[in-house]
Amino acid sequence: MPVNEYGQQIGQALPGWTPRPRPTRETLEGQYCRLEPLAADRHAAGLFAAYQPAGGALWTYLGIGPFADEAEYARYVRSVEHSADPLFFAVIDRVDDTPVGTLSLQRQDSESGVIEIGWVAFSPRMQHTRLSTEAHALLLALVFDRLGYRRCEWKCDSLNGPSRHAAERLGFVYEGTFRSAHVYKQRSRDTDWLAITDADWPGCRSALEAWLSPDNFDTEGHQRSTLAEYRGRSRHQE
């Protein structure tokens, strides 16, 4: 650990560090899905239809929804589609060009190179599929490989077990719970914090690429190895 002229331990030096660029409205192409900048005219109707099978439960841990009808949802999308932070993306299934979910990059601290994936709302069609994994992988690759951020965060209601499980599956590391951190929908929220750092990312990236490879799936679409197994192999190779 470095020590300054006063004998105090200090953080590792980052010579040449400069603020990171903020993400911009662009399309990110994957094998199974495509991320497009969210736009009401292009996406609202399809997203509202995709969300309907989940009912109101989809919105329990988000500060928005449920929405009474398509028009109400479209008004919400119009209110956020030009936002730079959060910067929203629609997830498009490449099989039929149908919008099936949304997510965002938010709390963009370009000075320190820290950013967060948030506002994740995936329809039942996306959940537990390659689309879900690849949507996050596309954002993580943008954050670390192209924009050069040092840390990507994930925060969720501590009672939202599926969200925390999804984050840990992707390689996010649990860092603690902030008690009474937020009020939404007239109730208190304890918030779990998780993160992937630039030191974690190479192993996470290798695991994601291996898991998403068509070779990892049999003719019926079942995975041959889990993402956790690939991440374990990556650690052993380091």
Structural domains of the chain, count: 1
Residue 172 lies inside a defined structural domain of this protein: yes
Residue at 152 is within a domain: yes
146 within domain boundaries: yes
Question: Per-residue pLDDT for the chain (238 aa), expressed as one digit of tens each?
Answer: 899 999 999 999 999 999 999 999 999 999 999 999 999 999 999 999 999 999 999 999 999 999 999 999 999 999 999 999 999 999 999 999 999 999 999 999 999 999 999 999 999 999 889 999 999 999 999 999 999 999 999 999 999 999 999 999 999 999 999 999 999 999 999 999 999 999 999 999 999 999 999 999 999 999 999 999 998 886 656 5
Residue 236 lies in a domain: no
Is residue 212 domain-resident?
Answer: no
Specify the pLDDT at position 233: 81
Q: Convert the chain into a string of H (helix), E (strand) and C (coil).
A: CCECCCCCECCCCCCCCCCCCCCCCCCEECCCEEEEECCHHHHHHHHHHHHHHHHHHHHCCCCCCCCCCHHHHHHHHHHHCCCCCCEEEEEEECCCCEEEEEEEEEEEECCCCEEEEEEEEECCCCCCCHHHHHHHHHHHHHHHHHCCCCEEEEEEECCCHHHHHHHHHHCCEEEEEEEEEEEECCEEEEEEEEEEECCCHHHHHHHHHHHHCHHHECCCCCECCCHHHHHHHHHHHC
Task: Domain of residue 110: give its range.
Answer: 28-199
pTM of the model: 0.95
Residue 14 inside a domain? The answer is: no
Does the residue 148 lie in any domain?
A: yes
Instruction: Let me know if residue 189 belongs to a domain.
Output: yes
pLDDT score, position 237:
63
Q: Which CATH number is 54's domain given?
A: 3.40.630.30
Q: What is the pLDDT of residue 238?
A: 56
